[in-house]
Amino acid sequence: MQQVAAAEHSDRDEPRVNKIDFENIWVWLGKGWGDIKSAPGYSLTYGAGIVFISGLITLLLIAGHLTFMVPFLIACFFLVAPLLAIGLYQMSAHLERGESLKTCQALEAFKRNQGQLGIATGFLVMIMQLWILATVFLFIMLFNAPFPTWGNFIPVVFLSGEHNLILISITIVGAFFAACAFCISAITVPMLIDRPIDAFTAMRTSVRAVAVNWVPMLLWATLIVLIVGAGLVTFYIGLFIAVPLVGHATWHAYRDLVPRD
């Protein structure tokens, strides 16, 4: 396995970033699965909580006749997932040190660096808002037919096959914002709960980690989308396993990408 520290150092003496290869990706998933097996009660309970919250929000949208917002909800889930998994990072850190999980709490991890985590959250929320605004703008500019009612919005726009230009444009814009979110958050949250650093340093380090290893990190991002996406298309039930697996694996990705001096 290739594990060579990148030679570049900034003037600010920021954390070093390792060069990885494709083998590392599968190791992260293997270690993530190992963490689940080491503490199934804790990990799977966390996953069950994500399933419950996701299902509840969806039911509330349906009850409020806001079904058209479900696709946006799913897209936003990918943007906020790094924050939702903060408790899983904490579990992996405890397991790595051989500590009991009885005192492991997500709130403990958040309090450790809550101000900087708030800044990172703000950036992700800003990206989410820009994505929504760009999507609405594209829709208004490109949709020439009579505006559909909310009740038939999804069949008319997404399923009719008559608005492919809109779908392609929205997909490209969504992919751009998703790539931005991934670059700044790939390892930011695990780093903030592990080290006494500021959010901007953590986000710059995350961007450097993706840039230095953009080919394997592209595979990692694709696997995240596939694993979490499989959980979403099973009416959220698959998130029971998908979120703990990706969350634990992300901790090990951080530990591989940013070595301790």
pLDDT digits (tens, 9 = 90+) for 1-34: 545 444 344 445 789 999 999 999 999 999 999 9
pLDDT digits (tens, 9 = 90+) for 41-79: 999 999 999 999 999 998 988 887 777 677 777 877 888
Count CB-CB contacts under 10 A for residue 227. 19
Count CB-CB contacts under 10 A for residue 155. 10
pLDDT of residue 5: 44
Question: Where residue 252 falls among pLDDT bands split at 50, 70, 90?
Answer: very high
Residues 6+ apart with CB under 8 A from 33: 245, 248
Give CA angle at 97 (21, 118), nearest 5°.
75
Count CB-CB contacts under 10 A for residue 159. 10
* Contact between residue 10 and residue 25 where contact means Cβ atoms under 8 Å apart: no
d(CA 87, CA 106): 4
- Give the pTM: 0.86
> E strands, the chain, where?
4-5, 18-19
> Which residue, chain included where needed, has tokens 């650093």?
197
* Contact between residue 219 and residue 25 where contact means Cβ atoms under 8 Å apart: yes
Count CB-CB contacts under 10 A for residue 172. 10
pLDDT digits (tens, 9 = 90+) for 34-47: 999 999 999 999 99
Work out the mean pLDDT of the chain and round it to a whole number: 85
d(CA 14, CA 201): 7
Most confident region among 2-6, 71-75, 130-134, 144-148 by mean pLDDT: 130-134
Phi first, then psi, for residue 26 (nearest 5°) are -70, -30
Classify the C-alpha dihedral 52-56-59-65 as positive or negative: negative
pLDDT of residue 8: 41
pLDDT of residue 253: 97
* Burial of residue 101 (number of CB atoms within 10 Å: 0-12, 13-18, 19+): middle
Residues 6+ apart with CB under 8 A from 3: 18, 19, 20, 24, 256
* Contact between residue 88 and residue 248 where contact means Cβ atoms under 8 Å apart: yes
Phi first, then psi, for residue 66 (nearest 5°) are -120, 35
Closest listed residue to residue 15, CA positions, set 248, 255, 213: 255
